[in-house]
A and B are shown apart, each in its own frame.
Chain A
Amino acid sequence: MHPLRRYRLTMVIFIVVMTSIAVGLMSFALRKNINLFYTPSSVVLGEAPINVNIRVGGMVVEGSLIRAEDSLLSIFKVTDGVSEVKVQHEGILPDMFAEGGGAVATGKLDENFIFIASTVLAKHDENYMPPEVTFAMDEARLHTKKLNSEAGSLNNN
């Protein structure tokens, strides 16, 4: 083969191999480090994996926040309007955290279906709602609407 062609061929092979390694590594790393979002309904339905890092979010249920007396442990519930999930967090809750407000927690679901949160994010101002929370509420609303209409058609029959 012509030396120039051979040089070009090795360059092309080198680039292809290096890029595939890089892409492979990146997608591997991505898969290890992404946190999927689950709505409270999907957690209750058992769709969420146990002991895997995920995110759960919704509105904080009024009157559900309980704090420990002698530590920073707190427990509250989040809802999407249909189902509720119990969240346990040890540490300081964010400024905008409030009962009736939106919150998204990152952490793991334990065997008793209590969500052990490592971080809790709340909306950061009055006009703003985390997109995930809006998503969860909409999903739940759609779902109930569908159930209702199915129930309605059953009744009619």
Chain B
Amino acid sequence: MIAEYGHFALILALALALMQAIIPQIGAFAGNRLWMSTVRPLVAAQTLFVLISFGCLIFLFLNDDFSVRYVAENSNTLLPDRYKISAVWGAHEGSLLLWVFILALWSSAVSIFSANLPAHLVARVLAVMGFISVGFYFFLLFTSNPFDRSLPFFPSEGADLNPLLQDVGLIFHPPMLYMGYVGLSVAFSFSIAALLSGDTDSAWARWVRPWTLVSWIFLTLGISLGSWWAYYELGWGGWWFWDPVENASFMPWLVCTALIHSLSATEKRGVFRSWTLLLAIIAFSLSLLGTFLVRSGVLTSVHAFASDPTRGVFILTFLVIVIGGSLLLFALKGPTKNAPSGFSDLSKEMFILINNLLLMSLTVVILLGTLYPLIADVLGWGKISVGPPYFNLFFVPLTLLLAILMPIGSVLRWKRSTTVSVRHYFNGPLVCSIFLGGLFPFFYEGYEPIAAVTVMVALWIIFITLRDVWRKSAQTSRSVLHGLIRLNASYYGMVVAHIGVAICIIGVGLTSTYSVQRDIRMEPGDQVNVAGYQFKFVAIGPFKGPNYIADQAEIAVTRDDSAVAVLYPQKRRYLASGQTMTEASIDSGIFRDLYVALGEPLKGEAWALRVYVKPFVIWIWLGSAFIALGALIALLDRRYRINRRKAVHA
């Protein structure tokens, strides 16, 4: 019965979402307060029912109800409980349910924290979010119902969750990413609401900014978790593949980054209003496009699970309605006149404009590379794939330019800075970063110009940013300490996030230049030297896990005759599905990761092994964490906090 309850709750949620999409919207147009006021109860009820539905699916998984097709296909009695729960969103149907569930959570959050916003705006925003929910409920119920039963002949044992997904990283990666994806719907709904009401002043930017920051935090964490998971779980030590699905998550992130910056200009200076509205629409459109790319199975990728063409058609139609409709609305009702505020070439506005331009160029490059195989296929140019060199060719120079300009823009003043006043901010950092960056590779293994450039750019960012903190705190107040306290949270947030970018750059640049990889055939007793580390293949033996059996190797790593680590990579064979999986073993450190993966058994006791020494690789994710932390700090800014407190009291 539980499956039927879940299904029924889902239908009720759809009905409520339909009402939420229509009644408050009409109320806002007609100026009917009663109709507008239905929106909060409707959101609460919709959230409740989708929560029930989601809870039912979790219950079905925990109780191994294999009469439900989705459970039978993605779970197994031997599967540990934590993976039974993460299996709920391990495949198509469940992940869509998670999508609408998270959308309901965001709608509730908006309805709770919007007490000080005008009633018609709240009604409109939540109605737009209701409309998006309706699309996804239809999609769930008509093409991908997770509660379908396979009666009367159902399997007595489940087919098990894809072994790749049986991992701690995968418990958190999809929910995080979806929180980010779906969170962009808030900024989107705000901009549609603003367009519908014709009210696009600077207050709009202040309301949207905290929501955008929150979804940006989740997107950042979601993407870096995914990349970390790919690094240790896909088994082959790469952390970014320019895979279409990675691109699908990266594009909304880039646009959201642009949005955060242009929002700050719109909020503080009233400039770029229509551009900011458009960015909010593009950001969410790209996250819908991402969902389409991942879920329609049109792409060859690690994420493209078994697919069904009707789904693709459905999402494509929905995509056309949402994106086409909102762009049309923007064209018809977008703000035509900006605040009359000029700014010079050397001003924060100008650098934010350049930042947006570069981020959008990156997005276009990635979009083209991602969609090109699809376009070529449709037009009959053959089956093609676009390789990483294409992406790197554009990504590296554009990102470097962005990174070099970033700290300059961050210290400039709004409206105008004079060349004379600004020059001395940069002379010191320029000399120091070139000197230290140029020197760095001498102290490392072999002189690589790329490594030097990497360190230069990273130090350039860090020096200018920190120098500016010092200047601002010393200049504006009696003592430095007092000055430090006086600086506001959104400034500190920016500082932390920008330093995070510098850390990321170090990670990416140094890992790419100094990583050493060896594919090698080894027998017990064999030794290999990789980048100064001795890897000794000690033994190989059987190992038994809860739902798999494995061959486990013991690899002792030494450097200069002192022990560094013992690694235990595994080759697993999952019992239910019979699939084999490589489980790499990694010794992580601040300055290097040692990475060993078992390839395949060769003759006798010999194995093919992949051995990596990857310097600074962890800095990539450390930097991402800093970026997310920066956004979190910015969120604590007093301007937004007052909003919240009022909201709670009202």
Contact = CB atoms under 8 A, between A and B. Distances in A.
B608 A37 contact: no
B602 A92 contact: no
A35 interface: yes
Nearest to B609: A92
Interface string B380-403: 001111110110011000000000
A111 interface: no
B385 A30 contact: no
Nearest to B520: A72
A32 B388 CA distance: 11
B306 A35 contact: no
Interface string B355-392: 00000010011001100110010000011111101100
Contact of B390 (A30, A91, A130, A131): A30
Given A30-B368, A72-B608, A135-B383, A125 B579 contact: yes
A71 B520 CA distance: 8
B384 A36 contact: yes
A102 to B, nearest CB: 11
Interface residues of A, number: 35
A90 B361 CA distance: 38
Most buried by B among A22, A35, A72: A72
Nearest to B392: A33
Interface string B574-604: 0001111110000000000000010110110
B300 A131 contact: yes
A146 interface: no
B144 to A, nearest CB: 15
Given A22-B361, A30-B390, A128-B306, A95 B581 contact: yes
A93 interface: yes
A156 interface: no
A29 interface: yes
Interface string A70-106: 1110000000000000000011110110000000101
Contact of B519 (A32, A72, A96, A124): A72
B577 A33 contact: no
User: Interface size for chain B: under 10, 10 to 19, 20 to 34, or 35 or more residues?
Assistant: 35 or more
Contacts, number: 95
Given A26-B365, A95-B581, A71 B386 contact: no
Given A33-B389, A126-B577, A131-B300, A69 B603 contact: yes
Contact of A125 (B162, B361, B365, B520): B162
B300 A95 contact: no
Interface of B is mostly: mixed
B164 interface: yes
B302 interface: yes
B302 A124 contact: yes
A95 B159 CA distance: 19
B521 interface: yes
Nearest to B306: A127
Contacts of A29: 390, 393-394
Contact of A26 (B306, B394, B520, B582): B394
Contacts of B369: 30
Nearest to B391: A33
Interface in B258-284: none
A36 B306 CA distance: 24
B305 interface: yes
Contacts of B361: 22
B365 to A, nearest CB: 6
A36 B376 CA distance: 10
Contacts of A30: 368-369, 372, 386, 390
Given A35-B385, A37-B385, A131-B300, A93 B600 contact: yes
A1 B604 CA distance: 85
A138 B610 CA distance: 36
B235 interface: yes
A145 interface: no
A72 B580 contact: no
Interface string A10-41: 00000000000010011001101111110000
A53 B386 CA distance: 11
Contacts of B159: 126
A8 interface: no
10 contacts: A30-B368, A33-B386, A36-B382, A55-B385, A92-B600, A92-B610, A95-B235, A95-B581, A124-B302, A125-B164
Given A34-B376, A55-B383, 18 more contacts: A22-B364, A33-B389, A37-B384, A55-B385, A71-B521, A72-B520, A91-B519, A92-B608, A92-B610, A93-B600, A96-B580, A124-B302, A125-B579, A126-B578, A127-B306, A131-B300, A132-B300, A132-B383
Closest 7 CB pairs of A and B: A92-B599, A37-B383, A33-B390, A34-B384, A33-B387, A127-B306, A33-B389
